[in-house]
Structure 1
Amino acid sequence: METVKLVAEIKSKISKLKAEGKTIGFVPTMGALHKGHLSLVDTSVKNNDITVVSIFVNPTQFNNPEDLLTYPRTIEEDLEKLSDCKPDLIFIPEVNEIYPEPDTRIFDFGVLDRVMEGKKRPGHFNGVAQVVSKLFDIVSPENAYFGQKDFQQVAVIKQMTKDLKLNVNIVPCPIIREKDGLAMSSRNVLLSEDQRKNACKISETLFKARNLVAELSVSQLKEWVVEEINKNNYLSVEYFEIVNDTTLEVINDWNESNNKIGCITVQVGKTRLIDNVTF
């Protein structure tokens, strides 16, 4: 496992590996790694000759400066966790390596980035597309691995890859959960002990909601989920939407689509947690 900080250096190393016919798997992260991230790394290691993991807290995807400042940074712990997964290269660039000059590109993803997280965090997915496209250019992977907890992000990255005609296979991987059901997230470490105990109510409610599809209309189910979670004094639902899992268009009737996903964001103190469940 080798750590690289410079764009020129990692490009050189990858160029040599590709010349040897090696396939490259890539796991982009913002650090504060947990078992969810490590499962992506494990999958890449199993399916590619070489696995590259990046750790970079991307400033352009934060529309809240305080969120950027408080985002957990745990490089030493991250490297220790990665050593068990045995990726080949760890790319840890400084901001000026990724953005030697401001990135002024504006992406148009249509509905994909105008609903849910896109609506609540204007510019967030544009920043995601900026950094991921730059990282793809630097790493030149055949396969890139993303967790489905960030379902909307995966949809945006798939669209970006298509729009830019990038030859990268986007591999979505299942949500990894804590024993009590809470979706693993780098932000979970920001929760107080009491907040953490109560946060599992989010997934618990989503799992119950799947069993109510036959009894409730879409609007009734959405209302039930919001009310059920908001009963908990530690939790406040920012939004809960049921959407088509490809177009992300809002579903108003169960018969509108065969592939439906419920996406939720809940405020737990000052921390925003996202989760989703398929219907």
Structure 2
Amino acid sequence: MRIEKTKLSMNAILDEKRQEGTIGFVPTMGALHEGHLSLVQRSVNENDYTVVSVFVNPTQFNNPEDLSTYPRTLEADVELLKEAGCDMVFAPSVKEMYPEPDHRTFDFGTLETVMEGEMRPGHFNGVGQIVSKLFDYVRPDHAYFGMKDFQQVAIIQRLVELLNLNVEIVPCDIIREEDGLAKSSRNLLLTENHRLAAPTIYKVLKESVALDKALTVEKTIQRTIAEINKNTLLEVEYFSIVNDRTLQPMNKWEDAERAVGCIAVQAGAVRLIDNIVFN
């Protein structure tokens, strides 16, 4: 497995590999876990050559403290990627990715005005900046993203349309711990007590789905928030039930063929997100 730190050195290899078959790509911010590795393994199974980027992107953080505390574990990540069958790790510096400030703005329409977009202004524009750069550098045939970041996947699919990029976005299922907590690099930052409390999020989400729409959308939202907030170590930032295509909040279950409940919860100093399909 190769480790490349510059666009030039990476493309010297990829230009040749493109002639030999398909290239799969998994963009990450490192601190890898089984969720990331499931994406890598799928790419390895479906492509001739797999590239994984490890880069903590500063432009998608609107909280400087969140950026500074984000876990960075490159040596351990490299070992995991070797075991997963990755062919190349692209681990650039900030200067390599942003030799000059990136002032581009992207219009994602109403996809970015709700949930994460509302709570983290500028976040998705930063995602657009880095993902578009990485797609331009790697030029993959397929790119793999986890559905834990449900709204982000929709944003990236829209980015591909806006820029008319020749890459297929492959959404992949959420990978969970045995107790149901969605795997996330941020889980490493949880205190012992908050880690014990965190599975409550998925437990309550499953209960809400099990009600089989016996409650209205509004009552389901109210119940979910109240049940999670009963745990004093957790505080719901938002819970929205949205149309899976438009991401717009639903008023009635009949408003969409497929409803998705998206949630953000503060667990001490750590912010956790998750989602669940309602039908």
TM-score (norm 1): 0.99
How far has the Cα of 1:33 moved from its partner? 0.2
Q: Which residue of 2 aligns with 1:6?
A: 6
Contact 1:242 1:260 in 2 (8 A): yes
How far has the Cα of 1:276 moved from its partner? 0.1
Output the CA distance in 2 between the equivalents of 1:24 and 1:250.
36
Q: Secondary structure at 2:264's aligned position in 1?
A: strand
Output the CA distance in 2 between the equivalents of 1:244 and 1:9.
43
User: Structure 1: where are the runs of 5+ without partners?
Assistant: none
Output the CA distance in 2 between the equivalents of 1:163 and 1:128.
14
Q: Which residue of 2 aligns with 1:26?
A: 25
Runs of at least 4 residues of structure 1 off by over 3 A?
none
Output the CA distance in 2 between the equivalents of 1:241 and 1:214.
15
Matched, 1:164 2:170: no
| 1:24-75 Cα distance to aligned partner (Å, 9 max, x none) | 0000000000000000000000000000000000000000000000000011
Output the CA distance in 2 between the equivalents of 1:157 and 1:101.
23
Is the deviation greater in 213-222 or in 157-166? 213-222
Is the deviation greater in 60-69 or in 7-16? 7-16
Matched, 1:113 2:117: no
Contact 2:60 2:123 in 1 (8 A): yes
Output the CA distance in 1 between the equivalents of 2:154 and 2:26.
16
How far has the Cα of 1:214 moved from its partner? 2.9
Output the CA distance in 2 between the equivalents of 1:113 and 1:256.
20
CA RMSD of aligned residues (A): 0.6
Q: Which residue of 1 aligns with 2:253?
A: 254
State the identity %: 57
How far has the Cα of 1:16 moved from its partner? 1.2
| 1:113-136 Cα distance to aligned partner (Å, 9 max, x none) | 110000000000000010000000
Contact 1:32 1:78 in 2 (8 A): yes
Q: Which residue of 1 aligns with 2:232?
A: 233
Return the letter of the residue paired with 2:3. T
Return the letter of the residue paired with 1:9. S
Return the letter of the residue paired with 1:114. T
Matches within 5 A, 1:1-279: 1-19=1-19, 21-279=20-278
TM-score (norm 2): 0.99
Contact 1:213 1:221 in 2 (8 A): no
Output the CA distance in 2 between the equivalents of 1:148 and 1:214.
23
Output the CA distance in 2 between the equivalents of 1:80 and 1:235.
34
Output the CA distance in 1 between the equivalents of 2:209 and 2:169.
27
- Counting matched residue pairs gives 278
